[in-house]
Amino acid sequence: MVRHLWYILLGTVLILSVCDGANILCIFPVPSYSHQQPLLAVSRELAARGHNLIVINTNPSKSPLKNHRDIDLGFLYKELEELKKKGLSLQSRISPYKIVHDYKLFMEYITPKAMEAPQMQELIKEVNGTKFDLIIYESIMLSSFLGFSELVGNPPIVGMLTINPFVISDPLVGNPEIPSYIPSVLLPNEHRMTFMERVNNFLINAYYHYVKICYMDPLQEIFIKKYFGNVKRTAYELERSISLMIITSDLASSYPKPVHPNTVYVGPTHVEKNVPPLPQDIEKWMNESEEGIIYFSLGSNMKGTSVPAEKRNAFIRAFSMFPRVRVLWKWESDEKLPGQPDNVLVKKWLPQQAILAHPKTRIFIRQVGLQSFQEATHYGVPILGVPLFADQDFNARKLIKTGAGRVVDFQNIAFENVFENLKELLTNSSYKENMLTLSKITNDKPMPAVETAVWWIEYVLRHNGAPHLRPACMDLAWYQYYSIDIVASIAAIAVSFLSICFYCVKMVVKKLMPSKLKEE
C-alpha cells in the first residue's frame, strides 16, 4: 500500500515537472477590452503557477506581476479612432456582410501599427534564436504574428477564442462546417433554422471563405515575410498547426455541435472568483433603491455618449416611468447627462461584475457581447439587449430562445418599445428564472473555466504538443475530405461500365440488323 502511494506521488511529481516553469509567449494584439480580459485571466493564472510568460497585449497590468512580462500595445486603442476616418466605426449598427468585408481593413491597418512599434521590434530582436516551450495565440485571423514561432524554436501553438467560433475558425483544427444547423456567429440565427435562414447562413459562410482566400490569407503572407523574413512555413501553415483550440464559451451561450478532441469549450475565464467590494457611494445608492437596480452600459467598444440624442432621450423617458427603480448608467463624459432623472446615477466607469453580483440588480442593458452575456448569466441577471455588430445578434437570439431576456433593435429605439420591454422584464419573473437556469448550466463544471484552460495548456506542454489530438482530416486535400475523389472514381467506373454495355449492345444490334434485312 505504501509502495503504491509512493508510485502515485512520484508519478504526480514527474508529470508536474514536465511543464514546471515553461517559457510561454502569448500573442494577444487585438485592441478590445472585452477580448483581452478572458485571455489575460489565463496568462496571469499560468504566471501564478510558476510559468514564465511574455505577453503581447493591449491591457497591461497596472502593477508588475511575477513571471508575467507585458509588451504594451495599448496605443492601438487610439489607432482605432483613426479607422473611423476609413469608414470602420464601432459606434453604430453594422451589417454582418460589412463586418466580413471590413475585417481586412482592420488587419491591414492594425498589423503594421503593432509590428512596427519600437517595443515589438525590440522583442523580435530579443527572442530571435531563443527557445520557448509554447505559444498561446488569439486565433482571430492575425496569423502573420505566428512568425514569432520561427524565431523561438517552433514550439506547439495553443489557439484561444473569446467568441464563439467563426466559420473560418473551425477548419483550423479540423472541425466540420455544416451550415444546415451550425449557425454563423455573425447572424441572428439559432441552430434550428428556417429555409431562408439556412440560405443566409450558407451565403455568409461562403462570403467569409471568399474574403479569407482572396484577401485575408494573401495579406497575412505579405506581413509575415515583411516582419519575419524568409520563414520556412507560411502564415496559413502556421495557423493550421495549432495543437489545441480553447474557446471561452459553453452551452449556456452557444449550441451543440461536433468538435474534435483538440477543441475545448471551457466557459468564461474572465469571471472573477472573488468580486471586489463596490465603492461606498455606489453601494449606498443601490441599497437604498426600493424596487431594485437597472444597470445600463453599452460596453467597451460602444460608448453611451455615442448614442444619438433621440435614442438616449427614449431611455431617459422610459427610466423616469419607474421612479421606485434606480438606474446606474455608464456615461463616458464629464458633462451632465441631459435630462437626467432623479432615479438615474451616471458614472464614467462602473465595476460591472460587482454591480451584477449585487442582489438588487434586476436588469442589465447591454449590447450582448459574449463576455457581458456570460457575466449576466453567471450572476443570473436578465438582459435587455441592444445588439450592434459582430456576434451580438447571435448572442441576442440565444437570449430570446432561452427566454432569459429581451432585445431592442438599435435602429428602432423609441420610448414605447424601451418602456414596454423594461415593464415586461420587471414584472414577469420567468426571465429571471430562465437566466438562473442558464447560470446553472454555465456553473455546473468540474473546475472553474480558467483552471480548465490552464489544465489543457499544461496538457499540451506535458505531451510535447499533443499530436495525438490532431485529426487526420487536417492532412487531407479538400476533395479527399469531402470524398469527391471517391465519388468521381465511382462515377467514372459506372460511366465506363455503362459505356461498355452500350457499345456491346450497339455491336450486337449492328451484327443482327444486316441478316434481318437479307431475310426480308
The whole-number pLDDT of residue 105 equals 85
What would the pLDDT profile of 458-490 be if each residue is shown by its tens digit?
Answer: 999 999 999 999 999 999 998 999 999 999 999
Closest by Cα among 322, 294, 307 to 386? 307
Q: Average pLDDT for residues 16-22, to the nearest whole number?
A: 64
The whole-number pLDDT of residue 298 equals 84
Residue 6, pLDDT above cutoff 50: no
Spatial distance between the Cα atoms of 247 and 245, rounded to a whole number of angstroms: 6
Closest by Cα among 80, 72, 140, 67 to 110? 80
User: For the ranges 58-67, 102-111, 297-306, which has the lowest average pLDDT?
Assistant: 297-306
Grid cell of 204 as nine digits = 455568409
Q: Average pLDDT for residues 100-124, to the nearest whole number?
A: 92
**Which strands form 383-385's sheet, in the order they lie side by side?**
344-347, 326-330, 293-296, 361-366, 383-385, 405-407
Grid cell of 300 as nine digits = 467597451
Closest by Cα among 107, 133, 114 to 24? 133
* Helices H / strands E in the chain, number of each: 19, 13
Residue ranges of alpha helices (H) inside 406-448 are: 415-427, 430-443
What would the pLDDT profile of 417-436 be if each residue is shown by its tens digit?
Answer: 999 999 999 999 999 999 99
Residue 11, pLDDT above cutoff 60: no
Spatial distance between the Cα atoms of 398 and 428, rounded to a whole number of angstroms: 19
Q: pLDDT grade, residue 9 (50/70/90)?
A: very low
The whole-number pLDDT of residue 336 equals 82
What would the pLDDT profile of 275-319 be if each residue is shown by its tens digit?
Answer: 999 999 999 999 999 999 999 998 766 667 678 889 999 999 999
Work out whether strand 134-138 and strand 68-72 pair parallel, antiparallel, or are unpaired. Answer: unpaired
Q: pLDDT grade, residue 17 (50/70/90)?
A: very low
Q: pLDDT grade, residue 168 (50/70/90)?
A: confident
Mean pLDDT of the chain: 90
The whole-number pLDDT of residue 89 equals 65
**H/E segment holding residue 79:** helix 76-84
Q: Running DSSP on this structure, what letter comes out for residue 385?
A: E
The whole-number pLDDT of residue 302 equals 65
Q: Give the length of the chain.
A: 520
Closest by Cα among 163, 103, 174, 114 to 139? 163
Considering the entire predicted model, what is its pTM? 0.90
Q: Average pLDDT for residues 213-228, to the nearest whole number?
A: 94
Closest by Cα among 171, 167, 124, 125 to 144? 124
What would the pLDDT profile of 246-258 be if each residue is shown by its tens digit?
Answer: 999 999 999 999 9
